[in-house]
Chain A
């Protein structure tokens, strides 16, 4: 089993989850736990940096589908950044780019949060 890992750090008042490895039906619960924890702690400005994410299956997309409304209804967002083309392609097949804020760089997400911009 290839490792899936999540590293959590803060950029000012925003929370960044750095994903690495393979996100599938086996590893999706780790992402779910991390997101839940942030939301439970009233952290609603979340950036998911996918730079080292090598693979995603629909179970991984499902986690984002389950929590985006909660976060947005509380005035926040989950912004996704730094995806490689392979991972972006899977999001694109399901039409995610019109529904989620998917950005080139983590700094773009910080800037949009600073300017209070949403999708």
Chain B
């Protein structure tokens, strides 16, 4: 088995306008990695949710800010990191959403973090200095 690995990165403005560009970037590399279409779809959605959360929660819709997206893979796994310098997300607040209850209260949102965990094999959050990182991994 080869030990070779590849990494790629882009930096995008924190705006929902760039969502499809971000999705296409990760989907292209996930396909090249050899994932089945369902796995590519999972990664595309997980990255969409993570990027949308940064725009809304870390940066509170300040489109002057930017998000760095890095991805890489080796023979066993594919990972994507999104880095921002906004408000840190506290994963201890995370719980499985009760959609029935949310509907009753006419609440939307709050389901993205759960989706990311369902879609990816591993999700880690960390903050170093002013930089927050969410790193999502999917195994081959």
A-side residues, CB < 8 A to B, are 1-2, 22, 24-26, 55, 57-59, 61-63, 65-70, 86, 89-90, 93-96, 99
Q: Chain B residues near A66: list those with CB within 8 A.
A: 106-108
B19 contacts the other chain (Cβ, under 8 Å)? yes
Q: Judge whether A69 and B49 touch: CB under 8 Å.
A: no
Q: A24-B52, A59-B52 are in contact. Are A65 and B17 (CB under 8 A)?
A: no
A-B Cβ contacts below 8 A, count: 75
- B2-10, B64-72, B109-117: which one contacts chain A? B109-117
Smallest CB separation, B103 vs chain A (Å): 5
- B81-89, B94-102, B121-129, B130-138: which one contacts chain A? B94-102
Q: A58-B112, A59-B52, A93-B115 are in contact. Are A1 and B17 (CB under 8 A)?
A: yes
Q: Judge whether B111 and A24 touch: CB under 8 Å.
A: no
Q: Chain B residues near A86: list those with CB within 8 A.
A: 41
Q: A26-B16, A65-B108, A94-B111 are in contact. List 12 more A-B contacts (CB 8 A).
A: A1-B20, A26-B17, A58-B49, A61-B108, A65-B102, A66-B106, A66-B107, A69-B103, A86-B41, A93-B119, A94-B97, A99-B103
Q: Judge whether A25 and B20 touch: CB under 8 Å.
A: no
Q: A58-B112, A61-B111, A96-B99 are in contact. Are A69 and B52 (CB under 8 A)?
A: no
In this complex, the interface size class of chain B, counting residues with CB under 8 Å from chain A, is: 20 to 34
Q: Judge whether B106 and A70 touch: CB under 8 Å.
A: yes
Q: Chain A residues near B100: list those with CB within 8 A.
A: 95, 99
Residue of B nearest to A56 (CB): B45
Alpha-carbon gap, A70 to B105, bound state (A): 11
Q: Judge whether B103 and A63 touch: CB under 8 Å.
A: no
